[in-house]
Structure 1
């Protein structure tokens, strides 16, 4: 039995190895999974942060020795995620070009049908330092369901249309990177903005549904899930990130 790091009302944070944890979760118990897995960019290089050159190294959790190891990692956690997802549930996975193609292949290999390839276009991307290629201004979010289930997945079509001024919502979402006002609790290298998770959660869950984030990081998924009245479980192997997530969650009022 894995003891929660934080448990209040319908929100749980767990400090654990993701594979150990997923093996213990009840089959077909989650309505939605959102995952922002490691991009595996910690290769000794440099990136741009606030106009300054900074190391891309984030920690051992973001290091990989080979393409095969990266793909095996993705197939393994996606396989375990499929087991715990309800028949009508869906999974969202975000990533950059460094990891998302492995994720997409792994989804199909493990029996998922990809529903959408969402392009998140950032209005304020950091410029590249080398000036040898185009500025990276987008990330991809794959939305998928179990391919072997005949039950229809849940999609709140009418609400998405309403949010989009009465028109069908497209698969290109435009918005800023995470605001400084959302980073007050601590530093995380890939913190997602709350508006992005709000749209994802509203599109694919109902109030009271169970949401799992297996790479919870700074806790954005949990913060938004709590605000929207969903039940939430977030897992991470890094205790420093869980401290940030807990601090943020404790400031959210139901």
Structure 2
């Protein structure tokens, strides 16, 4: 099987990946909200007012069918003890918030272990309602009793540690994660208009895989999942239809040292 590769093709057909060969799927699919933003930056400076776009406005039935096909392929290649982590957010349609709980219909043959709330510190502003400052991460497993969860690898410092009550100064991060979005001055920032932060994916990869495992992202975008996997000594596979994003991802990967032997 080909490893450590990003295919410039749709993930609706992942024939390059054998059945039950992947340990973890992590992705943020297109939101289908007709994105019209994205600056192209370098070292914190804006070079162009608009970056490369991807098609993000489909007929809703076609959009749901596309995701059904992609996630069916993901489940085919996922090991029996594997898991899938899907980052998706509310949509605001015609003045009404539409939560993404419809995604549960696409994973009826898997088990929801956690619904993570990813809370961040900036975003769009509005005076018609409270400003949105969170997205969801759905964590599904194939086997509700047999899956990888390395809690010790992702514990965080306890703010109110008391040695008389607790054995460790570290604690479970809980299901609300406060992690900054990727802003224009982040070193990891690319021209992708919807880039998620390495810190978010790092926690998922550390918790859900072991060194040498295979991480798959069917909507690779700018390559964050692959970059994190490589840094942490995991193998990666990805699919991305936009050639420019594949180039960005591969350029990012070329600057990363493999962590397999660290």
Which bracket does the TM-score occupy, shorter chain normalised?
Answer: 0.7 to 0.9
1:80-126 residue CA offsets vs partner (Å, 9 max, x unmatched): 11111001110000011137323222112xx1111100000001223
Q: Which moved more, 1:157-166 or 1:88-97?
A: 157-166
Question: Is 2:196–2:224's contact at 8 Å kept on the other side of the alignment?
Answer: yes
How far the C-alpha of 1:15 sits from its partner, in A, is 0.5
Tell me if structure 1 keeps the 8 A contact 2:53–2:192: no
Partner of 1:152: 146
Aligned length, in residue pairs: 230
CA offsets, 1:19-57, max 9 Å, x none?
12x2442000000001111100117xx7798xxxx99x9
Secondary structure of 1:18's aligned partner: coil
Extract unaligned runs of 5+ from structure 2.
Answer: 40-48, 92-98, 159-168
1:28 aligns with 2:20: yes
* 1:183 shift after superposition: 4.3
Q: Pick the aligned partner of 1:37 from 29, 36, 46.
A: 29
State the SS of the aligned residue for 2:173.
coil
Which blocks of at least 5 consecutive residues in structure 1 are unaligned?
A: 5-9
Distance verdict in 2 for CA 1:32–1:17, change over 3 Å: same
Q: TM-score, normalised by structure 2?
A: 0.80
Deviations 1:185-216 (A, max 9, x none): x4001101111111010000000001101100
Q: Does 1:202 align with 2:206?
A: yes
Assess, with a 3 A threshold, how the Cα gap between structure 1 residues 12 and 159 changes in structure 2: closer, same or farther: same
Q: CA RMSD in A?
A: 2.5
Preserved contact between residue 111 and residue 144 of structure 2 (Cα < 8 Å):
no
Note if 1:137 corresponds to 2:133: yes
Alignment of 1:232-243 (within 5 A): 232-243=236-247
Query: Counterpart in 2 of 1:7?
Result: none
